[in-house]
Amino acid sequence: MSSLTIALFAALAVYLGGWWMGHWIGNFSLLLFLLTVVTFGYWLAERLKFAPARQQAALQLERDHAQRMESLARQGIEKVDSDVQAARHKLLAQPWWLDWTAGLFPVILAVFLLRSFLFEPFKIPSGSMIPTLLVGDLILVNKYHYGVRLPVLNKKIIANHDPKAGDVIVFRYPVDPRIDYIKRVVGVPGDEVAYLNQRLTINGKPVTTEAQGDYYDEHSMRYAKRYSEQLGERRHDILVDPGRVPLYGVEPKAFPMAQSCRYSVEGVTCKVPAGHYFVMGDNRDDSQDSRYWGFVPDENIVGRAFLVWMNFGNLGRIGGFN
């Protein structure tokens, strides 16, 4: 079993190393599920086989010691140099390969359940959600707000709330579901979303915005116009760069249900299909979102982002956000 354990740890090291070096895209949910299953197998083997075997060996040692002491006593020998308790402790001790597998099962199981059904941490890798979220923000995502989903498969088994306009969601990128994206919901099923000449309109009504002055974007090292925007129940800030020329009007886009969208040099207008959502980044002119690659299917949604729990470069970032 120790050789098998070494082989499993070696495979894990290769997988994590290749992921870290960018040779492939890892799937942490699947990895955590497999670690839970494997350590559970070791935990069962420990409870049902290895621990009873060690306890039986320790009992046999005590019986053999007692018989030996009786034999020596009959010969008139009462004192012997032996430490049966040290030998017993050594027999009962878990070998390293069980300590690092069966011993870790409760911890891995707790992390798996917490991450799969309650809250999951993410790190903001890009500036598409500036000024709401900055590069380096570590955020928490509520996994049950939109319903309970099966781990790995991401299939919804218990419905809860539906995403609303204004929600910040994490989802599996429709173009490559191995990658997680974070954007703001702009359009829900049935909405007609138009983003023309850098102005957002929902169902024919312009979204209310208020100018907030200039904003220096340290990520792109340029100034942009900051606006307060009303989507849904709460307000949030967005950035608009009047000097940027949108690229989505240059050529038609190929994505599922692209026929629901109309492109022009002014921008894009889309009718959101059933079971899908139209999402955009708050950094409107520096965000690859539904304007470029289409709608987010409901089955791709991971959860609702609601809290910055850490930013090692700026502790003042910790807290909730709109």
Whose structure tokens read 């020596």? 72
Q: Which two tokens stand for residue 125?
A: 């890798």
Residues 43 and 101 in one domain: yes
162-181 per-position pLDDT tens digit: 999 999 999 999 999 989 99
Residues 107-123: what's their mean pLDDT? 94
**Final residue belonging to a domain, choices 112, 141, 168:** 112
Which one is catalytic: 116, 143, 183, 287? 183
The reply to whether 70 falls in a domain is yes
The reply to whether 198 falls in a domain is yes
**Final residue belonging to a domain, choices 53, 88, 112:** 112
The count of domains in the chain is 2
- pLDDT for 245: 67
Residues 71 and 130 in one domain: no
The reply to whether 224 falls in a domain is yes
**Residue 314 reports pLDDT greater than 60:** yes
DSSP-derived pairing of the beta strands 209-217 and 222-231: antiparallel
Which one is catalytic: 3, 79, 82, 128? 128
**Residue 146 reports pLDDT greater than 60:** yes
- pLDDT for 247: 59
Residues 150 and 108 in one domain: no
**Residue 250 reports pLDDT greater than 50:** no
Respond yes or no: is residue 225 known to be catalytic: no
Residues 80 and 142 in one domain: no
Respond yes or no: is residue 123 known to be catalytic: no
Residues 129 and 172 in one domain: yes
Residues 289 and 212 in one domain: yes
For 6, the domain range is 2-112
The reply to whether 154 falls in a domain is yes
155-164 per-position pLDDT tens digit: 899 999 999 9
Residues 210 and 85 in one domain: no
**Final residue belonging to a domain, choices 112, 143, 170:** 112
The reply to whether 43 falls in a domain is yes
Residues 221-240: what's their mean pLDDT? 90
- pLDDT for 205: 95
Residues paired with residue 215 on neighbouring β-strands, in sequence order: 224
The reply to whether 117 falls in a domain is no
